[in-house]
Amino acid sequence: MKKFSKCLCFWSCWTTLLLAIVTVSAQDVHSKLRLLPPQASPGIRTPKRRWFSQVKDHFSGDNKTIWHQKFFYSDDFFKPGGPVFLYVGGEFELSSSFLSGGHIIEMAAENNAFLLGLEHRYYGESFPTAIKNIPKSLALLNVDQALADLAYFVENVAELEEFRLLSGARWIAIGCSYPGMLAAWLRAKYPHLVYAAVASSAPVLAKTEFPEYEDVVARVLRDSKPGCLESIQKASHAVREFQASDNSTYLDELFPDVLNDVLKEVNDMISTIVQINILRTLRPVELACSIMTNDELGSPLERYSTLWKRFKRRYFDESLNDLVYIAWRYQTCTEFGYNIVTSSISKYPYHVKKLDKWISDECSIFGPGFDSKRVEQGVAAINAQYGGKQPNVSRVVYTNGADDPWSALGITSEVPGEDNHVIVIAGEPHCVDFLPSSGRDSPALRAARRRIRSLVKKWATQRGGDNLTTKKPTKIRTKEGSIVFTAIDEATKLDPIF
């Protein structure tokens, strides 16, 4: 089934289109985005995969029921005394490539860091329960369980023989987008385990309805080239006129492969182009606006068609797992909201999804109890627990691209707390600082990366402060290369549970 979405997070290198766009916004018609992991840096060995025996439910009092959680590691840069960089997994399948390319590799080399990446429960290959019944099978999918997974991993992984060299090491959590949220919240909730965090493009404020996303999209289009936004507006109005006249045949010819609503799907694609507007030879928004303002390509509607045909296969893929979409939909319906609606300010993108309609289309599939009250309660609970834009935390650097639509929910101004830092990168999109450095990087991006590296180096080497817990770990044994932490009595079942 074809799906269409706005996404939340990615790591990208435009020359090879290294996109790992992984969060699906809650929309009724959505498409899957092309998931290409970062390109490995030259000379980097492929990180190794292992399986960690994780507690199924951290809050039930039953620590004997386990499941196998995937993780990767690389010791290419590690020297005794170096820190551990914990790459936080998110709403995507974690692969070895995420620990072999990008800015994290550059920082690891500078700091003699050991790299570990833990896949998020219910995404990729890491399932604590069999997916037999929705929503019951997803009951253990939430932020608190995910953070507890990370904490338990940090507490216990150094007890395995091949990781004992990490005992007493300083841990720094690193993530982009939703994983950036988790990195900051891990530091806040488990400060005795994680010394500092890098939270890139992290929309830490949960919000039931999110029109600000489209305000940023409209501004970026308007600023990119005179007449671009206006041309999109005219094309959108033309689509509406054809839809009202029931002349669907003509629209089908102009916009092949549209699943349902031309206006919505094309505008979602444009919003995604803005979100991943990485500078390489040419920014995608510049290319899109050059199409929409080119009179030689015909009317605004015909240019709109050209834009769709040019970009749709570059950004969208049919091969991604439907479970990723379902799992993220569940989290938006229970914790985050993120209902992207037409803004009353920018009037973009001309399709309105009121809360009740969004609930009906997106959340009701999980059962009758998934109504607007449940969404609003979940959003309020997350903000109350983790502080939204006023977190109770220290030693976190929050970075945002000024042109990232998700930055409206991120921390972009001074935040309380000792040794917290905020970096806003002028003219840049989502998660841009996670990309590998390039000679074509903007001055603002180069300056941001220098500042991030300076903070990470300080945190990795400064004396004193909190560090790893001294809690006695659980007993361990190994089976076929997997890490297996037995739950006290070594009676835990070792076979996969799904």
Query: For residue 10, is it within any domain?
Result: no
Say what the pTM is. Answer: 0.87
Reported confidence tier of residue 466, pLDDT bands at 50, 70, 90: low
Decide if 7 is inside a domain: no
The helix (H) or strand (E) run that includes residue 147 is helix 143-156
Residue 273 within any structural domain of the chain: yes
Kindly state whether residue 199 falls inside one of the protein's structural domains.
Answer: yes
Per the domain annotation, does 493 fall within a domain?
no
Mean pLDDT across the chain, nearest whole number? 82
Whether 142 and 228 map to the same domain: the answer is no
Domain range enclosing 110:
48-204+389-485
- Whether 318 and 371 map to the same domain: the answer is yes
- Among 180-189, 236-245, 394-403, which stretch is predicted with the lowest mean pLDDT? 236-245
Residues in the chain: 498
Q: From 186, 71, 66, 124, select the one nearest 328 (Cα to Cα).
A: 124
Instruction: Evaluate whether residue 29 is within a structural domain.
Output: no
Q: In what order do the strands lie in the sheet with 84-88?
A: 421-425, 396-401, 196-200, 171-176, 84-88, 114-118, 66-74, 48-55, 482-485, 476-479
Q: Has residue 29 got a pLDDT over 90?
A: no
Residues 109 and 180 in one domain: yes
Bridge partners of 397, per DSSP, are 198, 421
Q: Could you say which of 356, 386, 416 is where a domain stops?
A: 386
- Taking alpha carbons only, the member of 49, 50, 55, 51 closest to residue 474 is 55
**H, E, C per residue of 325-365:** HHHHHHHHHHHHEEECCCCCCCCCCCCCCCHHHHHHHHHHH
**Chain CA centroid to CA 146, Å:** 14
> Is residue 214 one of the residues assigned to a domain?
yes
DSSP 19: -
Token pair for residue 240?
């509406």
pLDDT value at 46 more than 60: yes
Q: Given this model, what pLDDT does residue 129 score?
A: 87
312 shares its domain with 417: no
Question: 136-140, 371-375, 385-389: which has the highest mean pLDDT?
Answer: 385-389
Count of structural domains within the chain: 2
Tell me: do 151 and 103 sit in the same domain: yes
Q: Is residue 180 part of a domain?
A: yes
**Both tokens assigned to 59:** 């809050």
Which range has the top average pLDDT, 90-104, 186-200, 359-373, 478-492?
A: 186-200
How many Å apart are CA 440 and CA 446, to the nearest integer? Answer: 10
What are the tens digits of pLDDT across the range 378-427? 999 999 999 999 999 999 999 999 999 999 999 999 898 999 999 999 99
In this predicted model, what pLDDT tens digit does every residue of 303-343 receive, in sequence order? 999 999 998 766 554 444 578 888 999 999 999 999 887 76
> Token pair for residue 463?
């004396």
- The verdict on 347 and 463 lying in the same domain is no
CA angle 239, 240, 245 (to 5 degrees): 100
Last residue of a domain, one of 349, 368, 386: 386
The C-alpha atoms of residue 92 and residue 19 are separated, in whole angstroms, by 12
- 333-352 pLDDT, tens digit per residue, is 999 999 887 766 666 655 55
Identify the CA nearest to 13 among candidates 98, 118, 124: 98
Whether residues 346 and 222 share a domain: the answer is yes
Do 274 and 198 lie in one domain? The reply is no
Percentage of residues in the chain with pLDDT exceeding 70?
80
Query: What is the rounded average pLDDT of the residues 36-65?
Result: 82
Q: Per residue, what are the HEC states of 247-283?
A: CHHHHHHHCCCCCCCHHHHHHHHHHHHHHCCCCCCCC
Residue 208 predicted with pLDDT over 70: yes
Contact partners, residue 463, CB within 8 Å, separation at least 6: none
Does residue 68 sit in the same domain as residue 191?
A: yes
Please tell me the predicted confidence (pLDDT) of residue 131: 75
Residue whose token pair is 């990008």: 102
| Model confidence at 150: pLDDT above 90 | yes
Same domain as 200, residue 214: no
Where is the domain boundary, 367, 386, 405? 386
User: In 3D, which of 351, 352, 358 has the Cα closest to residue 375?
Assistant: 358
**The CATH number of the domain where 85 resides is what?**
3.40.50.1820
Please indicate, yes or no, whether residues 96 and 183 belong to a single structural domain of this protein: yes
- Measured from the Cβ of residue 256, the count of other Cβ atoms closer than 10 Å reads 10
* 180 & 225 share domain: no
Is the pLDDT at 483 greater than 60? The verdict is no
Structure tokens given for 212? 């600000």
